[in-house]
Amino acid sequence: MSQTVEFQAGELIYRQGEAPEPLVAYVIISGAVEVSLEVPGAPSRVLAQLGEGDIVGELSLIDGHVRSANVVALTDCRMLLVGRRQILNRLEESDPFVVDMFRTMVRRLRLAYGDVGVDQGHSDFIGELSFERDMEEGLERGEFVPFLQPIVDMATGHTAGFEALARWRLSGGGLRPPADFIPLAEKTRLIQRIDMTVMTQAACALAASAHTGFLSSNLSASQFSDDRIIDRVASVLSVSGLHPSRLHLEVNESALISADARTRHILEELRGLGASISLDDFGTGYSSLGYLHTLPIDTLKIDQSFVRAMERGEKARRLIAGMVTMAGTLEMDVVVEGVETAEESALIRDMGATWAQGWLHGRPAPVEEALSRPAPAKPSGSTFVF
């Protein structure tokens, strides 16, 4: 379905009583429309004139019923099409009470006013909807790919595994980093498809290569709201043939914030598949430490902000050393993220961290390039003191 559609002045956009075909709402990008209601035995009644940023057709989009008014283009118009799934995905994310309230409002609006365009339109919303559509098309065209960044064994200097990091390869040749698209992908649930696309491609490539290391792949916190994630991960393992023990699933603290029965169940089932669980960006969330000994977590990934702070003083260094010791006590492995210099690497190795990840050991790179890189040199033996 194309993303925008044009109507000429005077053209009927849809008619009262007809089935919504296609099942879309329209956001007016430019131009103006008139919304009118046919009342039996009386002249038709103009309900509203709507312009740029306004939405029409949203009631049918939500409840799937017939159009409740006529909408005609007053001037030449360009409209953005909004599909049902785009709205339903957002609704699924909401509190059930809010969803109920929303549905009740839709019913009442239908009864009271007919299809009056509700004025929710503004440019941010249009921008989001159109970016979402771009992402969806990008996914269909296979533009979302993993880059791999090495995770290095501190004792031997060898690459122990790779983290898969999503990149969006634009048709024009550019690369979009995750910070550009992950927030909206989370909001619209497209993140599930992105996570799985990235994990599947990376797992297939690693399983087909001579490398014997592990794959560490990110799972968005939003995946923990339903347990279909277990089947999705199982299918990545079966499609790729990667041995389950080579799959590390990275989740961040926000996924564990409630640490409720469902989260625990999902984590245990994922572990039951043979994969292990890494807690990403450790130390940046708001959860208590209580979950560390109650949830099945195999690896702590210490956030790079702690390494950045090391340059500023002894306390940050002691903090990392403390986290490494705590992880050891809990029999967890540790990855220190964001290691950029040989000095940082040596300090971390002396603290007893299992693995390090950072620009020093290799930047994220396209899969073939990362898998064919020679192993980085063993970390230097001398400890540098700032």
Binding region for ligand C2E (CB under 6 A): 149, 165-166, 177-179, 182, 191, 194-195, 198, 218, 220, 250, 280-281, 304, 337-340, 357-359, 364
177 binds, among ligand C2E, Mg ion, none (CB under 5 to 8 A by kind): ligand C2E
215 binds, among Mg ion, ligand C2E, none (CB under 5 to 8 A by kind): none
Angle at 118 between CA 113 and CA 120, to 5 degrees: 170
Residues 6+ apart with CB under 8 A from 268: 296
What CA–CA distance (Å, rounded) separates 87 from 94? 11
178 binds, among ligand C2E, Mg ion, none (CB under 5 to 8 A by kind): ligand C2E
Q: SS3 of 152, please?
A: strand
What CA–CA distance (Å, rounded) separates 360 from 340? 5
To ligand C2E, the closest distance from the beta carbon of 12 in angstroms equals: 44
Are 252 and 285 within 8 A, CB to CB?
A: yes
Residues in the chain: 386
Tell me the DSSP string of 158-176.
Answer: -EEEEEEEEEEE-TTS-EE
Site for Mg ion in 125-184 (CB under 5 A): none
To Mg ion, the closest distance from the beta carbon of 383 in angstroms equals: 25
To ligand C2E, the closest distance from the beta carbon of 356 in angstroms equals: 9
Select 32 or 309, whichever has its Cβ closest to Mg ion: 309
3 binds, among ligand C2E, Mg ion, none (CB under 5 to 8 A by kind): none
Residues 6+ apart with CB under 8 A from 309: 316, 319
Q: SS3 of 252, please?
A: strand
Closest CA to 284 of 360, 338, 328: 338
To ligand C2E, the closest distance from the beta carbon of 159 in angstroms equals: 14
Q: Does 58 bind Mg ion (CB under 5 A)?
A: no
Residue corresponding to tokens 């009470």: 97
To ligand C2E, the closest distance from the beta carbon of 216 in angstroms equals: 8
* Alpha-carbon distances, residue 130 vs 38, 79, 243, 370 (angstroms): 33, 11, 39, 33
User: Which tokens go with 199?
Assistant: 């994990």
344 binds, among Mg ion, ligand C2E, none (CB under 5 to 8 A by kind): none
What CA–CA distance (Å, rounded) separates 272 from 244? 10
To ligand C2E, the closest distance from the beta carbon of 154 in angstroms equals: 15
Select 61 or 196, whichever has its Cβ closest to ligand C2E: 196
354 binds, among Mg ion, ligand C2E, none (CB under 5 to 8 A by kind): none
70 binds, among ligand C2E, Mg ion, none (CB under 5 to 8 A by kind): none
Site for Mg ion in 200-259 (CB under 5 A): 218, 250
> Which range, of 136-144, 233-241, 274-282, 370-378, touches Mg ion by CB under 5 A?
274-282
Select 83 or 338, whichever has its Cβ closest to ligand C2E: 338
Residue showing the smallest CB distance to ligand C2E in the complex: 358
Count CA atoms within 13 Å of residue 43 on its CB side.
Answer: 1
